[in-house]
Chains A and B, each alone.
Chain A
Amino acid sequence: MQAHRLDRSLLVTTAVLVVVGMLTLYSAGQTDVPSFVTEIWKRQLLWLVLGIVGAILMFRVSPRILEWATPYAYGIAIALLILTLLVGTGAGTAASAKSWLAVGGVRIGQPVEAAKLATILMLARHLAGKREAPATLVEIVPSLVIVSVPFLLVALQPDLGSAIVFLGILFAMLFWVGVKGWLLLLLASPLISLLLGFNEYPWSAWIVVLTLILLVVRPYVLEGLVVWLTNVAMGVVVLKLWQTLAPYQQNRLLSFLNPELDPRATGWNIIQSKVAIGSGGIFGKGFAEGTQKRLAFLPEQHTDFIFSVIGEELGFIGVLVILALFTALLMVLVRIARGATDTYSSVLVLGVASMVFTHVFVNVGMTVGLMPIVGIPLPFFSYGGSFLVTCFVAVGLALRMAWESRLSGYAAL
């Protein structure tokens, strides 16, 4: 192996993120109130070692072997998700959801994390096989199926946060293979209708806009009709059904879809997270010195709200640095995707980038109140073995793709 062909910028950004992440996790455990979080960074170190081993192993795998093995990986991931639905257990903030696989009472992992990667692989394999970008909705259907299966299985757990990640991955990868913007908009339109459907005026305006779009871009008549009717159905039927429900039933449905939406807990969480972040100011209270965290006001400070610890202790400057680090990581990944030797590798690396992007955006946005509380981990920061290992495996893949590209001289182009 030629060491100079390793992508050094990817290695360095990842390494810095991992180190800062471990330090933050250590700090998260430094509280005045005794808690199990104090010792948790040691366990994360073990997962880190496992992750590095995983990354090295992935680096040794040729993209061609990977492409061959993709359907099997996808199949196993789906099987694990089904198994999780059948025998899964809950934990932590999502104790009522079935998201963990446990053997003899010992929780061994959350299959959804591995399933994200497997879905990226499968979608990459499917999209890379196409010469031309899908130009109609019908041509997108296979991609939709590939993502829908894990999406639905995860939504049933229910784990809304991870389900959102699957959507992010789908749209980013379709965009990368050149699917037109209006087509993506049509694809997303039922969701938009659903969200706007709770209020008549925005929804009516949206239907007008949608109709205009359909008239301008002129997809197949049947496609156009299906899209239009789905939107109407989402807006009208869903709204009417929703209104027939009693408030407590609505609440139950909402908290079923998103178990973390329990306002009794989240109301408290979001206030405390904002107080922690806001009180950090520009320079923060100093490493491990966050008072909100120390006095146990900040909930879930080692998983969902770990970014609040950064905000409180390292201040706005710290937040900017971490966001810049993540931006740098994403830029490097996009560069690797651009310069990949083959379409499969390219789509794959972009998929990895979209996974990291969605996680960072949703998680960080949640701590500051921009996004709803859905509870997904922050890459390299949040405590959690399955996701850390998944991230490392993804980085290992990207390293290999970059290496192939340099080996063939593509990267210089």
Chain B
Amino acid sequence: MSEDLKNVVVILTVGKSDGGKAATMAFSCGMSAIAMGHNAVVFLTSDGAVWGYQGSADGTQVQGFLPLRELISQYLEQGGRIILCSVCHRTCSVGSPDLPPVAEMVPETEIGGFATILELAMNGMSVTF
């Protein structure tokens, strides 16, 4: 991705409680950002961290949209980035904070924190789902 393009940082804080609606919108938004010539980053934090793990999106589809697993796959193929909140990865999503993470992350997912996300957003814009 070009360095001079603006970043679109999509912040996803919703997990499976809405049947994957917010996640579907977030990755669709990311796909649109790429289509419009921007660098897209989906930041998975809070309950949204669940989408950073292999198999989480399986079987999830919102009417009118691609299955979430396929949407995420296409998003990554087109150059979108996924950044998973470091604290969520360590504590919220995979059990005890005293144990190492056990779930396998979606391939190409990066670990990042708020400074990482803020720097990206300062060089672009952010959208929250």
User: Do A and B share a complex?
Assistant: no
